[in-house]
């Protein structure tokens, strides 16, 4: 199931949906759409239920800061640091350097790269 | 305020199989804080999948993410592309793919157990388990033609069939391995180095397992009932004897036992597969170019492996997102270290069975 959200309402939407004993947080994902646009995804699966995956997505650009989910889901820090490295996005509290060094390509997974 | 000291572990350390660096903040011998650096072997596989290779080649590229669960990577990707192309494999192909995945789980768990024994100073057992593991490696090599990078799964099927001689080899080696597993289980349960020393050490509570989204054997050792084999319907696991293995104490001993019991269960699944192998083609024609987005999850030896593939109807994919089990498990691992003794850190780390090659991809 794919649910659209926006960056300003992300924390409210995920906060209303997520319950740690029911939902397993899979990851954060980014997909470059070209022309400076990016699709961000937050993906969950349900414990003990077959084939139930919920994907929240929001359309954004490279410059708009992305809210962090770590207050709700501490383990989201890994995926958030990854999109900082790979797409050069600004995510609250997530620093560059999970995979890439300072002199590496600034955003290898952007379409223009 | 007590004085604290910072002690590094890695990136190169005698207890590590792959490069990872921890910075432990310690009060005397007790770890009170930890930071991890996991990116030493980043190779840009996701980028290569969408820039340097066509979708038919990518299955062989993603297999190179990991030398231990190569078959799971290629299966996850292949399944995602097959779904985008509207293809569903016949039962023989499904069974052969499951056979290789379960054999992979057995040898990967055995490597972890051997490494755990080595960390307890039990070098002889390390050698014994690695020797027993060859039984599975021999079968995998005979089936696929390769020892580590199997390149067995391809879009539309598998690359080699299971002959009657191979079926005999699977049965013979798995019977021998079953006998050895009884001895091994007894050792892990009763030997002082492996049981008493590891009971109550490196505990991940059930609540922390939920909070930090633990997965795979790490979660099941804490009593969190999650296993992709029970949460997806791509393969008929229940019909072939799959049982979820749970422990409750969440310590190193429990993680060892989840793996030991999963090996026994995987042996049973493999036997059921070769005993009930359906007839059919092993390679079918699949036409078209992937268009749309598909998510596939497969239970790798360390937990859930996640692939998201997006295609645009051309030979080049728009996005291949790989999320590996160790990558997701890092926050839970870091939580376990807090409060533990520094001297136990190598053993705790080995019990997580981390795969840095997968994590950094």
Model pLDDT for residues B239-281, shown as the tens digit of each residue: 999 999 999 999 999 999 999 999 999 999 999 999 999 999 9
Neighbours of B254 (CB within 10 A): 26
* CA–CA distances in Å: residue A41 to residues A3, A9, A26, A74: 10, 14, 10, 17
pLDDT at B169 over 90: yes
Q: Give chain B's largest Cα–Cα span.
A: 71
The string of DSSP letters for B126-184 reads: HHHHHHHHHHHHHHHHHHHS-SSS---EETTEESS---HHHHHHHHHHHHHHHHHHHHH
User: Which range marks the domain in which residue B308 is found?
Assistant: 47-360
> B-chain residues within 8 Å CB-CB of A97?
39
pLDDT of residue B223: 96
- What pLDDT score was predicted for residue A113? 62
A-B CB pairs within 8 A amount to 81
Confidence of residue A16 (pLDDT cuts 50, 70, 90): very high
- A2-4 and A53-61 strand pairing: parallel
Q: Is residue A104 part of a domain?
A: no
C-alpha B56: how far from its chain's center? 24
Is pTM beyond 0.90? Reply is yes
Of the candidates B38, B212, B295, which has its C-beta nearest A74's C-beta?
A: B212
Q: How confident is the model at residue B16 (pLDDT cuts 50, 70, 90)?
A: confident
- Report if residue A13 sits inside a domain: yes
Asked if pLDDT for residue B119 goes beyond 90, the answer is no
Q: Is residue B205 part of a domain?
A: yes
Q: What is the ipTM metric for this complex?
A: 0.95
Confidence at residue B1, expressed as pLDDT on a 0 to 100 scale = 60
CB–CB of B89/B82 below 8 Å?
Answer: yes
Q: How far apart are CA A5 and CA A57, in angstroms?
A: 6
User: Does residue B35 belong to any structural domain of this protein?
Assistant: no
Domain that holds residue A59: 2-64
Tallying the residues shown for chain A, one arrives at 113
Q: Is residue A99 part of a domain?
A: no
Q: Is residue B22 part of a domain?
A: no
Q: Where are the alpha helices (DSSP H) in A25-74?
A: none
Q: What is the mean pLDDT of chain B?
A: 93
In a domain? residue B18: no
Using alpha carbons, select from B290, B360, B315, B361 the residue that is nearest to residue B51: B315
- A70 at the B interface (CB within 8 A)? no
Say how far apart CA A94 and CA A87 lie, in whole Å. Answer: 13
Percent of chain B with pLDDT strictly greater than 70 = 100
CA distances from B172 to B152, B213, B298 (A): 22, 39, 28
The total number of structural domains that make up chain B: 1
Looking at residue B18, what is its pLDDT?
85
Q: Which of B39, B326, B336 to mutate to test the interface with A (most CBs of A within 10 A)?
A: B39
Residue B251 is assigned to a structural domain of this protein:
yes
Split into its structural domains, chain A has a count of 1
Q: Kindly tell me if the per-residue pLDDT of B290 is higher than 90.
A: yes
| Contact residues on chain A for B35, CB-CB shorter than 8 A | none
Helix (H) or strand (E) run with residue B188 in it: helix B164-190
Q: Please tell me the distance in Å from A43's CA to the nearest CA on chain B.
A: 10
Distance from CA of B325 to the nearest CA of A (A): 10
H/E element, A44: strand A37-46
A1 pLDDT above the threshold of 70: yes
In chain B, the DSSP E strands lie at 5-9, 21-27, 30-37, 153-154, 157-158, 291-300, 303-312, 317-323
Query: For chain B, which residues lie within 8 Å of any Cβ of chain A, measuring from their own Cβ?
Result: 38-39, 42, 44, 46-47, 210-213, 215, 224-226, 230-233, 295, 297, 304, 306, 308, 310, 318-319, 321, 323, 327-328, 330-332, 360
Average of per-residue pLDDT across A99-110: 90
Helices B91-119 and B164-190 cross at an angle (nearest 10°) of 30
Q: Do A26 and B321 touch (CB under 8 A)?
A: no
3-state secondary structure of B191: coil
For chain A, what percentages of helix, strand and coil (3-state, to nearest 5) are there? Answer: 20, 30, 50
The dihedral sign for the CA sequence B100, B103, B109, B110: negative
Chain A: residue whose CA lies nearest to B333: A75
Is B124 domain-assigned?
A: yes
Bridge pairing between strands B153-154 and B30-37: unpaired
Residue A87 covered by a domain: no
Report if residue B10 sits inside a domain.
no
**What is residue B245's three-state secondary structure?**
coil
Distance from C-alpha of B88 to C-alpha of B157, rounded to nearest angstrom: 10
Q: Is the pLDDT of residue A112 over 80?
A: no
Nearest to B75 by CA among B305, B287, B246, B324: B305
Tell me the pLDDT tens digit for each residue of A27-75.
999 999 988 999 999 999 999 999 999 999 999 999 999 999 999 999 9
Q: What is the CATH number of the domain that holds B117?
A: 1.10.645.10
Q: Which residues of B touch A54 (CB under 8 A)?
A: none
Kindly report, residue by residue over B293-347, the tens digit of the pLDDT: 999 999 999 999 999 999 999 999 999 999 999 999 999 999 999 999 999 998 8
pLDDT category of residue B196 using cuts at 50, 70 and 90: confident
pLDDT class of A111 with cuts at 50, 70, 90: confident
Residue A110 distance to chain B (closest CA, Å): 10
Give dist(CA B204, CA B214) in Å, integer. Answer: 9
Residue B27 lies in a domain: no
Q: Which of B231, B242, B306, B359 to mutate to probe the A interface, most A CBs <10 Å?
A: B231
Which of B249, B247, B237, B271 has its CA nearest to residue B103?
Answer: B271
Q: Contact, B9 vs B346, CB < 8 A?
A: yes
Residue A15 predicted with pLDDT over 90: yes
Residue A79 belongs to a domain = no
Question: For residue A41, which residues of chain B lie inside 8 Å, CB to CB?
Answer: 308
Evaluate whether B250 touches B339 at the Cβ level (below 8 Å).
Answer: no
pLDDT number for residue B90 = 95
Kindly report, residue by residue over B58-103, the tens digit of the pLDDT. Answer: 999 999 998 888 899 999 999 999 999 999 999 999 999 999 999 9
Is B11 a residue whose pLDDT tops 90?
no
Measured between beta carbons, which residues in chain A are less than 8 angstroms from residue B233? 50-51
Nearest to A111 by CA among B77, B54, B47: B47
Give residue B89's pLDDT: 95
């Amino acid at each position: 199931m794919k649910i659209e959200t926006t960056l300003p309402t992300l924390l409210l939407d995920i906060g209303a949906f997520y319950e740690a004993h029911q939902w397993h947080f899979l990851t954060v994902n980014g997909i470059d759409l070209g022309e400076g646009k990016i699709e961000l995804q937050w993906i969950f699966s349900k414990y003990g239920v077959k084939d139930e995956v919920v994907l929240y997505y929001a359309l954004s650009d490279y410059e708009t800061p992305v809210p962090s989910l770590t207050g709700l889901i501490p383990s989201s820090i890994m995926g958030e640091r990854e999109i900082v490295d790979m797409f050069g996005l600004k995510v609250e509290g997530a620093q560059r350097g999970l995979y890439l060094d300072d002199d590496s390509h600034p955003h290898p997974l952007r379409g223009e790269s | 305020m007590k004085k604290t000291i910072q002690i590094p572990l890695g990136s190169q350390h005698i207890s590590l199989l792959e490069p990872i660096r921890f910075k432990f903040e310690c009060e005397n011998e007790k770890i009170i804080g930890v930071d991890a650096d996991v990116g030493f072997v980043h190779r840009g596989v996701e980028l290569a999948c969408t820039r340097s290779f066509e979708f038919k080649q990518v299955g062989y590229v993603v297999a190179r993410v990991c030398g231990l669960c190569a078959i799971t990577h290629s299966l996850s990707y292949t399944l995602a592309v097959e779904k985008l192309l509207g293809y569903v494999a016949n039962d023989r192909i499904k069974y052969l793919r499951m056979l290789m995945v379960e054999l992979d789980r057995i040898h990967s768990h055995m490597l972890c157990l051997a490494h755990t024994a080595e960390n307890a100073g039990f070098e002889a057992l390390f050698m014994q388990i690695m020797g027993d593991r060859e039984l599975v490696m021999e079968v995998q090599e005979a089936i696929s033609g390769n020892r580590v990078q199997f390149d067995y799964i391809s879009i539309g099927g598998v690359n080699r069939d299971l002959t009657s001689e191979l079926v005999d080899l699977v049965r013979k080696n798995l019977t021998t391995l079953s006998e050895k597993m009884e001895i091994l289980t007894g050792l892990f349960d009763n030997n002082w180095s492996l049981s008493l020393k590891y009971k109550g050490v490196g505990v991940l509570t059930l609540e922390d397992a939920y909070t930090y989204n633990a997965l795979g054997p790490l979660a099941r050792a804490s009593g969190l009932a999650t296993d992709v084999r029970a949460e997806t319907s791509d393969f008929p696991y229940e019909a072939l004897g799959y049982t979820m293995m749970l422990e409750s104490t969440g310590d190193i001993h429990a993680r060892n036992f989840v793996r030991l019991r999963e090996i026994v269960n995987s042996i049973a699944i493999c036997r059921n597969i070769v005993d009930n192998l359906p007839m059919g083609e092993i390679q079918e024609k699949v036409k078209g170019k992937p268009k749309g987005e598909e998510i596939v999850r497969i239970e790798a030896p360390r937990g859930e492996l996640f692939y998201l593939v997006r295609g645009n109807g051309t030979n080049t994919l728009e996005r291949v997102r790989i999320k590996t089990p160790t990558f997701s498990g890092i926050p839970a691992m870091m939580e376990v270290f807090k409060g533990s003794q520094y001297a136990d850190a190598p053993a705790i780390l080995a019990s997580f069975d981390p795969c840095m090659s997968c994590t950094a991809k």
